[in-house]
Structure 1
Amino acid sequence: MSKKVSALDMPDVPMGQLPEHLNRQRTRVTCNADAPIHTDAVHYSGAYSLMGVDNSMGLEKFSKNFKVEIVRLSEDEIEFDMIGIDASLANAFRRILIAEIPTMAIEKVLMVNNTSLIADEVLSHRLGLIPLDADPRLFEYLSENDVPNERNTIVYKLEVSCKKDSPRNTVKTSQLKWLPNGSELEMATLDKSAKVKSYTSFSCSQDSLPEISKKPLGVKHDDIIIAKLGPGQAIELEAHAVKGIGKVHAKWSPVASAWYRMLPEVVLLTEVKGQDAEKLVNKCPVNVFDIEDLGHGDKKAVVANPRACTLCRECIRGVNEELVELGRVKHHFIFTIESTGALSPEELFIEAVKILEEKCDRLLSELS
């Protein structure tokens, strides 16, 4: 007859400390050759109370354990580690970055002339996806009842043509011209005797506003192809950009991609030497392993770059399954943000934190 043994009956495990196998299940995802195990996080605060371990989450504990470490930073991309958070919080940042940080994008296209092969609707859609070099924090949202003005609308003009008996003309985003004074097209009013008016009502030029005049409100990339014109074809239009968020349309999403993954953990269970070491190194397609020279012709395999592991599992298939252990650290995330250009990647993350903070404040006010 078997006897049920509790954690309190284990003399080798002191109070306040988990056994190694339980601690690993709590903090790691073990990636076997067939499928990962221990993927669920333990959220119940009293899960390990019999062992004297507090599993509750509090602000003081979170502040002590949470860290952000920047690994790589460029003009359009940032890679950083978020340590000490749950997957739900990391995913909240990802969703906010994709869908809730506002940007400026072309929403309305006034087509004057289009004799190219691209239909008006397709051309308008292409213009809407062009990343604009305009800080959305300097502009207001344009609602249905608002009049387009210098604070909520940016106007661009495109007027290109290809002369007869000329080679094909490639139209690029560099040919989109910013109109700081607003629309140059006129719109007839209902009263035929009244004067005509513009599609926008700018009270002043946008380049005279101190916060906007620092740099032209152009496009982020000048070499994006919009269309190709044949001899005798022409495009003339005005494009009006407004402020919006990605959950309304993807053209307002400020990131090309925002994604995360758990930190890989690769452990050699035994020493792998000689020909076995070379086979192990050659099996990995991303150079996680390397050869260390021991002298006298001896060599062994070492884990040189575990961060590069893509979890292809090639190293644990076949005879190597008992030699290598693959895992993921549950509360350590490698986060990557690729900006489309309106805001720098580090500014995007700061804006995501502000939006999450506003959501928490609204929830607390509703609960109170």
Structure 2
Amino acid sequence: MAPSSGRRQPPSSEDLDERNIVGINKETITNTVSTDYPDNYANEEHAWDKEAFRRSFKVQWHDNQQYEAQFSLIGIDASIANAFRRILIAEIPTLAIDIVYIYNNTSVIQDEVLAHRLGLIPFTGNKKGIQNWLGFWRKPAPGEDSYATTFDSNTVCLKLQAKCTHNKDAPPNSKDPKELYHNAHIYAKDIKFEPLGVQEKHFSGDGVIRPFNPDILVAKLRPGQELEIEIHMHKGFGWDHAKWSPVATASYRLMPTITITKPILGADAEKFADCFMNGVIGLEPVTRKEARSKGSGYEGHEGELKAVVKDPMRDTVSREVLRHPEFEGKVKLGRRRDHFIFSIESTGQWDSDDLFLEAVKTLKKKCQVLRPQVTNMVYTF
């Protein structure tokens, strides 16, 4: 017998696709571990290659509004996708309320609770002024004056001053506090920006510092109660406190896959569609060509409704379809391991697409810092 060369046929495109799918079964999940690394498959080279990555990597935008975006990153590893998510949440600087000086608070809300509520109100303003001109504030050293490190280039000052009084012109039978009193409800829009130094040059007109949502309720007052508060805003990062996170949500999920392996027709097709979110499965009539094609499974069913996969991205992978015995062996569920669907919701200081670009820049800077260290480590050993 001739000696074996040890070679094998290269994997087909179907085999490669199958390796890249996480199997979703009735009670288990299979193929969860990535296998595209050197020496995992005999006679297959899976070392990372820049050109191969360049060919396979794609970015697809599905929705790109100013403060909400949804896009897909295709052809990357989960570690890279998660790095972008963590950077979006914690490593892009924003401006937020940091220090609250409460001179008078006779409302029913305790000082620390009120300060916490104020700190979580998202603000916006001239993006270039916030991102490029405004610097970072340094906490005063022990024994140093509390204002020693406060300058117009690193601190934004706000004021909240309100007093609740009776409304003499209120309707006689009214029970609505908004009609009975002045300043019964204090909202984020009642917080006023007071420019310091040259801040008016950077934050004026449409670019003035203001709450992103002016109707956030801060406190409720009744006659005789008042607030007098000075607020200082500083730049910071989400890893220090959530109030500095530039996003309300930044998440991703794997692209669902739905493969119909056997025809599903008629009433079963309608039931099949009801097992998924609206728009995932469509119903189409069987064509004459399909009905006349031998082995298609549609013979003699011309005009009858069949189930087809319309938009798998809408699927939530609930596995509801796997509960019904009539669909057993007719459908395969899975998720693509290298297709990440990102959702970003900005809190207002950054546009949603700019946030992703900034995350790319941040990751690039991290790599530039890490690269010489890895190089030195290799040469050391």
> Deviation at 1:297?
5.1
> Residues 212, 160 of structure 1: CA spacing in aligned structure 2 closer, same or farther, 3 A cutoff?
closer
Q: Name the counterpart of 2:321.
A: 315
> Residues 93, 212 of structure 1: CA spacing in aligned structure 2 closer, same or farther, 3 A cutoff?
farther
Aligned 1:269-284 pairs, distance under 5 A: 269-284=261-276
Q: Name the counterpart of 1:158.
A: 160
> Residues 6, 287 of structure 1: CA spacing in aligned structure 2 closer, same or farther, 3 A cutoff?
farther
Q: Which of residues 222, 229, 254 in structure 2 aligns to 1:237?
A: 229
2:308 matches 1:302: yes
Per-residue Cα deviation, 1:37-81 (whole angstroms, up to 9, x for no partner):
00111142232342xx32111222212211111110112100001
RMSD of equivalent CA atoms: 2.1
Q: Name the counterpart of 2:292.
A: none
2:138 matches 1:143: yes
> Deviation at 1:285?
3.9
Relative to the length of structure 1, the TM-score reads 0.85
2:81 matches 1:81: no
Aligned partner of residue 211 in structure 2, secondary structure: coil
* Distance (whole Å) between structure 2 residues aligned to residue 331 and residue 69 of structure 1: 13
Aligned partner of residue 362 in structure 1, secondary structure: helix
* Distance (whole Å) between structure 2 residues aligned to residue 231 and residue 315 of structure 1: 60
Q: Name the counterpart of 2:194.
A: 179
* Distance (whole Å) between structure 2 residues aligned to residue 328 and residue 169 of structure 1: 52
Aligned-partner residue type, residue 176 of structure 1? I
- Contact 2:265/2:307, CA 8 A, preserved across alignment: yes
Name the stretch that deviates more: 109-118 or 58-67: 58-67
Gap runs ≥5 in structure 2 = 141-147, 168-179, 288-301, 377-381
Kindly, what percent of the aligned residue pairs are identical? Answer: 39
- Contact 1:288/1:308, CA 8 A, preserved across alignment: yes
- Contact 1:316/1:322, CA 8 A, preserved across alignment: no
* Distance (whole Å) between structure 1 residues aligned to residue 354 and residue 13 of structure 2: 42
2:125 matches 1:130: no
> Deviation at 1:109?
0.6
Q: Name the counterpart of 2:337.
A: 330
* Distance (whole Å) between structure 1 residues aligned to residue 121 and residue 38 of structure 2: 48
Aligned 1:37-52 pairs, distance under 5 A: 37-50=30-43
Aligned 1:241-260 pairs, distance under 5 A: 241-260=233-252
* Distance (whole Å) between structure 2 residues aligned to residue 246 and residue 159 of structure 1: 29
Q: Name the counterpart of 1:192.
A: none
Gap runs ≥5 in structure 1 = 10-14, 182-203
2:201 matches 1:208: yes
Aligned-partner residue type, residue 152 of structure 1? N
Aligned partner of residue 208 in structure 2, secondary structure: coil
Aligned partner of residue 369 in structure 2, secondary structure: helix
> Residues 276, 208 of structure 1: CA spacing in aligned structure 2 closer, same or farther, 3 A cutoff?
closer
